[in-house]
Structure 1
Amino acid sequence: MNEDRRIIVQLLIAGVALLFAGKLLFIQVLDDDYKLAAQNNVMKKFIDYPLRGMMTSRDGELLVVNNPVYDITVVAKEFRNSDTLALAKVMGIEMEEMRGKLDKLKKARSFSWVKPQVLFKQLSPEEFAKIEVYLDDFSGIYVSPRTVRGYQYPYSANSLGYIGEITDRQIKRDTTNYYKAGDYIGRNGIESTYEEHLRGQRGISFKMVNVRGIVKGSFQDGEYDTLSVPGNNLTTTLDLDLQAYAEKLMEGKIGSLVAIEPSSGEILAIVSAPDYDPSLLSGRSFGKNMGVLQKDSLKPLFNRPIMAAYPPGSIFKVLQSLVALQEGVIAPGEFIYCDNKLIGDHAPPGRYDTRRALKYSSNNFYVKVFREVLNQRVDDNTFVDSRLGLDKWVTYMSRFGLGSKLGIDLPGEKSGFIPNSAFYDRYYGRNRWKASNVHSLAIGQGEILVTPIQMANMAALVANRGYFYTPHLIKDIGGQGPLEKYLEKHETGIQSQYFDEVIAGMEEVIQGTATRAYIKDLPIAGKTGTVQNPHGPDHSVFMAFAPVEQPKIAISVYVENAGWGGRAATAIAGLMLEKYVKGEISRPYMEKYVLKGDFLY
């Protein structure tokens, strides 16, 4: 019996010893809280946040800079006996709000008694200067210098984008393990696409602190510190003067404007109307302003140039002409008689070749040639022949950059839609449809959808006589040039002589339906479009480039509910072309007409 008791006592003693040993191991090795608490008696680790790369216009004008701000953090273990009421007075807030902030920190999932938690975010230098002298009176209160984005001009908000605090979901998806809670990350626009180039590399510094947490100097003369590395500066492709003028012309309208340098694919100006001031989504008012913008019925956060998809209307006839010429269903200078019985038409009956058909925008001409493109007698069965012809036509559309994303360096780009035979098979049944069922495609209506950036790219590829570079907004990353993919030339496979025929017709358009784009001594090639809208007034669309020889700019303008293409869109594009090529406006009356905005009367 005594022997059993002795064994039990020994086991109890051994168990208690193991329990204490385990607790000691947990405290000294496994639990960061105790480790940090011990370290914090002599030193503290501070993150040295890198300067985010800045952005300039193509001419070197600063667009996006970094403004200093200060986060006030608290270590709960050290702050427990501090005067909360006094801190509230220093910060200029009510005691109830201060309690709410502290309670929120305690409830946070990642809360730790010894890890700094942000108490006040993004104080401006002026705000920080007023309270700095009082902060030493509070134990557990620390200052973390940061930067937020500052904008020199109220332009290009949807393109530049914004930064915001990283979410838990984003942290979990970060395979690089770079980001930590409280970091800021590009959330939209260029800020998002070029995040890895802009963010830089954070550094760490260790500081000696006293028992009250007041910094007394570097730990071991900075031997363990690492310097932060600033992010790369970006040179955008935007022409600041042209961008400002574009936003002025599009003010009060709903739609898009995209201007491209054809020889490079660089975007000179891009407007989503209505827009917003980018400074609204920077600093402490980010959440409040974001809520207001999200509730706006006009959707200023919706980036229309790359996200909105519309029927292209009659501007699509330019591409239809190129396909018909390349396929040999009509020759340059060959005339077709149109009696206007196939489809409604505003062009008079008569004989049309490609040039005249473009000038007067003859719907019946394009229905006829489109039918010949589809039905080239490859198969005796008309239904099969139409299927084969349509898929061949879809291949051309793909070469023009339609039906898929172009690959612009902005997030959220949509592909538009080009219907193929499989689409109509699902709708009508296999071999139960033919050219007459899809003839609305001939004039850019029906199921076709394109984005404004694709429309501008259409103008650019015609200006280049058969090729294009993917439109993009960044021409240089830290002195290394653009991304490699934006230097790649995309060929359409259309022979150059057919472009000469089409461009000649587009020049005649400026003398016909697009007189509002006529500029003396500036040869322009363009095409108007009036897009049917079942929900209200038609949409106005125009695409063009200038000068005709050695083009410097290609443009598309889309104005919703503005009626005829020859009015709103054409007038805006004409002013933009003149502004960029000539540097000044010779028709103030046209500018007044655009700014007034009464396009339906």
Structure 2
Amino acid sequence: MNLEARRLVFILLFLFVGVVFTARLFYMQVVDDKWIERAGEVAKRKITIKPPRGILYDRNRKKIVANKTYYNLMFVEDDIEDFDTVAFSKLIGMSVDSIHLRFEEIRKNLDRKTKSKATGNDTIVNDYRTYMPNAFLSELSADEISRIAMDLPDFKGFYEEPMSMRDYPYNSGANIFGYLNEISGEELNKDRQFYNVGDFIGRSGLEKYYEHELRGKKGTKVILASARGKLVDNFADGKLDTNAQQGPPLHLGIDIDLQAYGEELMKYKLGSAVAIEPSTGEILAMVSAPSYDPNRMVGTRNIRSNYMKLYKDTLKPFYPRPLAAEYPPGSIFKVIQALVCLEEGVIEEDATFPCTKSWVGCHNHPTANSVSKAIQFSCNPYFYYAVKKLIQQGKYESNFKDAAVGLELWEKYMHSFGLGQKPETDIYGLRSGVIPNVDFYDHWYGKLRWAFSTIRSNSIGQGEVKLTPLQMANLAAIVANDGYYYEPHLVKSIGDQGPAEKYKVKKHTMVDPKHYGVAKEGMRAAVNDPYGTARRARINGITVAGKTGTAQNPHGEDHSVFMAFAPYDNPKIAIAVFVENAGFGGTWAAPIASLMMEKYLTGEISDTLKEQRILDKRFTHINE
């Protein structure tokens, strides 16, 4: 072969190799994008730094929702050497077969569906990388990790990694705080800039309502990494790194000791106890019974173990009764009816009506010769007569039209007390209660086919009227304040910002403050004077004003209701207690309320026999 022929062969070979490498490079960079990802891995990588979640404090600066360190048992498959599965099995308490199944589960969990660029069809891609860390076991407690930590170095490729999860030091307030759970695919798609697969997100309660504030701000660390995922060095000496910022603390109006005490009193009972500071609208306690230890819903392992048990519990511990249960308020509603009747001028303070038991049932009591006495004695016929004068004022010849106009006016008054509409409380699950209006009755009976006689049960808080326990407590606060209120709220400050603007707005009812003295005197007498219905609400050395209620229940025993405030001359606490299927309001709801008020105002209980009677009483059986 001559020289020219050899030169041609070398040129052709060189060109062939160049074409092959160029084609391969084009395929790697343009057609197959996984090489682009790998190139980024080789060059630099961003590591997300998760911030600790914001802490919650009660009104006395006690830490009530904190973060606690747990541990993940991590592994990198490429680093595992001479793996003794039998010894590892003994160390972590899993069978050898379970260990193999766990490795397979980890790989399978990293399957994801994607569309093929070539065919457009769905295809399964597995993101598992043997050189990347994965969690073999998650959420190990300090005790659990300590039992294996000493022997862990014997198993190359395995190591411990700390993580932060919620902790509830007081075991109370589950329905207030809510819980965290792993983010769903739908939630992830809404905010991929912050969340990653496996992140936890507020699922209910304050954790959900204040998710954006509590989660804080993520940080990033840019590193140089090898093709095998090993850290080589910080990129640009850390100049591109950003610090993670913990979520600001939430300072609540809740008194955690009062909350815990209320939950203890309501144990083995169904119902609610809500306490509010009248001067601010801050919620001091919000008991939903039955409740549960919020630590039972911390982390995936606990949620898997406990969620369905709690969800299927027929007593509904997840159900936020103070916010969502709509009950007939019973006789506590008479206080509001009296105020509206006085404002409209249909009765005077010394108005007297006969206690006509043949028209509506009532208990034996002296003659109610004033509005305050009617409240003190809780006379049913008195309020039937009074509210009839309100609803049917004789403005029209037709009783039907007269009642419709009267009910429209009554509805406006009720709305001014925050009834029949959702409170603006900073939590999810709120219901508005029911204040029936003209449209409501027109739907049931037909237009102009009903009158006061049709709807008279509303006069004493029965019939179609429904209130939530939160609304009942706010009514007590309104009376304590002589006619104004602030929207009840749980968080008094995010960090040091103070309350949200909407919680600084003073809201006034349509009833002039001058009328509230009559209602307050009736409530004071109901607790402290002879023939009052709320004698069990008395507190030594403190004047309590309260009103009992016995809400009729067509499905069983009547409900026990009570609302109150104290001290009488300078109210610091307003409260409503609702105990389902417990009978007369003065028997059970009133003493529970008085114990909670005394606990809050003095820090101790003077009548231990009253306390023990409540603690011993069971209206239902709840598993410990």
TM-score by length of 1: 0.89
Offset at residue 242 of structure 1 (A): 1.7
In 2, the alpha carbon distance for the partners of 1:136 and 1:20 equals: 43
Task: Select the residue among 222, 233, 238 that pairs with 2:238.
Answer: 222
Name 1:405's counterpart in structure 2. 422
In 1, the alpha carbon distance for the partners of 2:465 and 2:20 equals: 74
Name 1:518's counterpart in structure 2. 538
Q: Does 1:68 align with 2:69?
A: yes
Superposition pairs of residues 345-364 of structure 1, within 5 angstroms: 345-347=362-364, 350-364=367-381
Counterpart amino acid of residue 456 in structure 1: A
Superposition pairs of residues 449-468 of structure 1, within 5 angstroms: 449-468=466-485
Name 2:209's counterpart in structure 1. 193
Distance change >3 Å, CA 137–CA 499, structure 1 → 2: same
Task: Select the residue among 127, 135, 159 that pairs with 1:112.
Answer: 127
Name 1:137's counterpart in structure 2. 156
Name 1:258's counterpart in structure 2. 274
In 2, the alpha carbon distance for the partners of 1:277 and 1:427 equals: 44
Q: Does 1:341 align with 2:358?
A: yes
In 2, the alpha carbon distance for the partners of 1:197 and 1:79 equals: 39
Name 2:514's counterpart in structure 1. 497
Distance change >3 Å, CA 124–CA 598, structure 1 → 2: closer
Q: Does 1:427 align with 2:444?
A: yes
Task: Select the residue among 533, 537, 547 that pairs with 2:557.
Answer: 537
1:97-154: CA deviation from partner (whole Å, max 9, x where unpaired):
324423532444484245866553323345456359549833xx78764311011111
CA contact (8 A) 2:324 2:430 kept: yes
CA contact (8 A) 1:355 1:505 kept: yes
Offset at residue 545 of structure 1 (A): 0.2
In 1, the alpha carbon distance for the partners of 2:228 and 2:578 equals: 63
State which drifts further: 237-246 or 107-116: 107-116
Q: Does 1:168 align with 2:185?
A: yes
Name 2:39's counterpart in structure 1. 38
1:571-594: CA deviation from partner (whole Å, max 9, x where unpaired):
111111222223322211111111
Distance change >3 Å, CA 26–CA 145, structure 1 → 2: farther
CA contact (8 A) 1:75 1:113 kept: no
Distance change >3 Å, CA 412–CA 358, structure 1 → 2: same
CA contact (8 A) 1:257 1:271 kept: yes
CA contact (8 A) 1:338 1:352 kept: no
Q: Does 1:270 align with 2:286?
A: yes
Offset at residue 71 of structure 1 (A): 4.0
Distance change >3 Å, CA 544–CA 519, structure 1 → 2: same
CA contact (8 A) 1:529 1:540 kept: yes
Name 2:265's counterpart in structure 1. 249
Offset at residue 213 of structure 1 (A): 4.3
Offset at residue 385 of structure 1 (A): 1.1
Offset at residue 206 of structure 1 (A): 3.2
In 2, the alpha carbon distance for the partners of 1:206 and 1:599 equals: 60
CA contact (8 A) 1:200 1:231 kept: yes
Distance change >3 Å, CA 365–CA 37, structure 1 → 2: same
| Structure 2 unaligned regions, length at least 5 | 1-17, 114-124
Distance change >3 Å, CA 210–CA 20, structure 1 → 2: closer
In 2, the alpha carbon distance for the partners of 1:164 and 1:411 equals: 16
Name 2:101's counterpart in structure 1. 97
Counterpart amino acid of residue 397 in structure 1: M
Name 2:524's counterpart in structure 1. 507
Task: Select the residue among 567, 572, 582 that pairs with 1:552.
Answer: 572
Task: Select the residue among 581, 598, 603 that pairs with 1:561.
Answer: 581
Name 2:333's counterpart in structure 1. 316
Counterpart amino acid of residue 592 in structure 1: Q
In 1, the alpha carbon distance for the partners of 2:607 and 2:50 equals: 51
Distance change >3 Å, CA 142–CA 364, structure 1 → 2: same
Offset at residue 37 of structure 1 (A): 2.7
Distance change >3 Å, CA 277–CA 86, structure 1 → 2: same
Task: Select the residue among 585, 593, 596 that pairs with 2:616.
Answer: 596
In 2, the alpha carbon distance for the partners of 1:426 and 1:92 equals: 65
Structure 1 vs Structure 2 CA RMSD: 2.9
In 2, the alpha carbon distance for the partners of 1:70 and 1:337 equals: 72
Secondary structure of the 1:528 match is: strand
Counterpart amino acid of residue 98 in structure 1: R
Q: Does 1:202 align with 2:218?
A: yes
Task: Select the residue among 277, 298, 305 that pairs with 1:288.
Answer: 305
State which drifts further: 575-584 or 488-497: 575-584
CA contact (8 A) 1:542 1:573 kept: yes
Distance change >3 Å, CA 214–CA 310, structure 1 → 2: same
1:424-481: CA deviation from partner (whole Å, max 9, x where unpaired):
0010000100000000000101111110000000000000000111111111111111
CA contact (8 A) 1:88 1:98 kept: no
Superposition pairs of residues 74-93 of structure 1, within 5 angstroms: 85=85, 89=89, 92-93=93-94
Q: Does 1:299 align with 2:303?
A: no
Counterpart amino acid of residue 58 in structure 2: S
Counterpart amino acid of residue 123 in structure 1: L
In 2, the alpha carbon distance for the partners of 1:111 and 1:128 equals: 30
Name 1:3's counterpart in structure 2. none
Counterpart amino acid of residue 597 in structure 2: L
In 1, the alpha carbon distance for the partners of 2:214 and 2:28 equals: 40
Name 1:480's counterpart in structure 2. 497
TM-score by length of 2: 0.86
Distance change >3 Å, CA 444–CA 208, structure 1 → 2: same
% identical equivalent positions? 42
Distance change >3 Å, CA 172–CA 347, structure 1 → 2: farther
Counterpart amino acid of residue 596 in structure 1: D
Distance change >3 Å, CA 91–CA 583, structure 1 → 2: closer
Counterpart amino acid of residue 367 in structure 1: Y
Offset at residue 209 of structure 1 (A): 4.8
Distance change >3 Å, CA 331–CA 147, structure 1 → 2: same
1:174-229: CA deviation from partner (whole Å, max 9, x where unpaired):
4x843222221111111111111111111122345556645455344323322111
Counterpart amino acid of residue 101 in structure 1: E
Distance change >3 Å, CA 202–CA 136, structure 1 → 2: farther
In 1, the alpha carbon distance for the partners of 2:410 and 2:19 equals: 80
1:249-270: CA deviation from partner (whole Å, max 9, x where unpaired):
1112111001110000011111
Offset at residue 82 of structure 1 (A): 9.6
In 1, the alpha carbon distance for the partners of 2:27 and 2:489 equals: 55
Offset at residue 332 of structure 1 (A): 1.0
CA contact (8 A) 1:46 1:204 kept: yes
In 2, the alpha carbon distance for the partners of 1:145 and 1:31 equals: 37
CA contact (8 A) 2:103 2:136 kept: no
Distance change >3 Å, CA 87–CA 207, structure 1 → 2: farther
Q: Does 1:55 align with 2:56?
A: yes
In 2, the alpha carbon distance for the partners of 1:193 and 1:405 equals: 16
| Structure 1 unaligned regions, length at least 5 | 1-16
Name 1:154's counterpart in structure 2. 171
In 2, the alpha carbon distance for the partners of 1:82 and 1:181 equals: 32
Secondary structure of the 2:418 match is: coil
Secondary structure of the 1:555 match is: strand
Counterpart amino acid of residue 389 in structure 2: E
CA contact (8 A) 1:382 1:434 kept: yes
Name the count of aligned residue pairs: 580
Secondary structure of the 1:259 match is: strand
In 2, the alpha carbon distance for the partners of 1:330 and 1:21 equals: 98
Counterpart amino acid of residue 276 in structure 1: Y
